[in-house]
Structure 1
Amino acid sequence: MATLYQIHSTMDTLRRSTNELALTWRAGDSILLLGATVAFVDWLNAYLGDADIEGITGIYALAEDVAQLSTTTTSQLKLNAKLTALLTDGEWVKLTQDTSFDKVVTIAL
């Protein structure tokens, strides 16, 4: 079984959030970026590398959160290449109830 980590973090706390995630990370786990955290996806990927976090099954974001970003920011981030999927609220709920996850952990520092 795997864990779905939900990260809601500012740029100032993203490294600390990634370090917290690394404490219990197992290959096959996934990450859901909440709120403005999706705007820091490049930093997240760098921090994941620093923490030697490997075997990520998926990195997701909520479509509603991405819609809050400016068109320029969204274009520059190239999220299609960095995210497994953008989720609607219904898809998010379904993902958290997916039987492939034995737990959902929210990290909000």
Structure 2
Amino acid sequence: MATLYQLHSSMDKLRRSTEQMAQTWRAGDSIILLGATAAFIDWLNAYLEDNDIDRIASIYALADDVAQLGDHTNAKLNLNTKLTAVLSDTEWVTLTQDPQFDKVVTIAL
């Protein structure tokens, strides 16, 4: 079984959020980035590495959140190569109920 981490963090709290996630991380867990957190994906990847969080099954973001970043920001971030998928709200709800996940943990510091 795996955990789905819902990560909602501002840039100034992102390091602390990944430290919290590292305490219970297991190989094969997944992450969904909520709010503007997708804009910090490069920093997130660095912090994940710093905290020995590896073997991530998937990293997702919500379509509405990605759209709010704007086309220019999306192009610069190259999110389509860094995210497993961009989910609609309905797909997100379905994902949180997927039996592959034995728990869904929200980290919002």
Q: What's the TM-score bracket when you normalise by the shorter of the two chains?
A: over 0.9
Question: In structure 2, what residue type is equivalent to 1:80?
Answer: N
* 2:32 corresponds to 1:32: yes
List per-residue Cα deviations over 1:27-50 (Å, max 9, x = no partner): 010000000000000000000000
Q: What is the match of residue 65 of structure 2?
A: 65
> CA RMSD of the aligned region, Å?
0.4
Q: Matched residues in 2 for 1:25 and 1:17: separation? A: 12
Q: Offset of 1:70 from its aligned partner?
A: 2.0
Show the 5 A alignment for 1:95-106: 95-106=95-106
- What amino acid does structure 1 have at the position aligned with 2:93? V
Q: Which secondary structure does the structure 1 equivalent of 2:11 belong to?
A: coil
Q: Distance in 1 between matches of 2:93 and 2:36?
A: 19
Provide, for residues 31-79 of structure 1, a one-character-per-residue CA deviation record: whole Å limited to 9, x for no partner. Answer: 0000000000000000000001111000000000001012111100001
Flag structure 2 segments of 5+ consecutive residues without an equivalent: none
1-structure distance, mates of 2:15, 2:105: 17
Q: Give the TM-score, by structure 1 length.
A: 0.99
AA aligned opposite 1:72: H
Calculate the TM-score normalised by the size of structure 2. 0.99
Q: How many residues align?
A: 109
**1:93 counterpart = 2:98:** no
Q: What residue in structure 2 maps to residue 52 of structure 1?
A: 52
- Stretches of structure 1 lacking an aligned partner (at least 5 in a row): none
Supply the AA of the counterpart residue of 1:30.
S
Say whether 1:7 aligns with 2:12. Answer: no
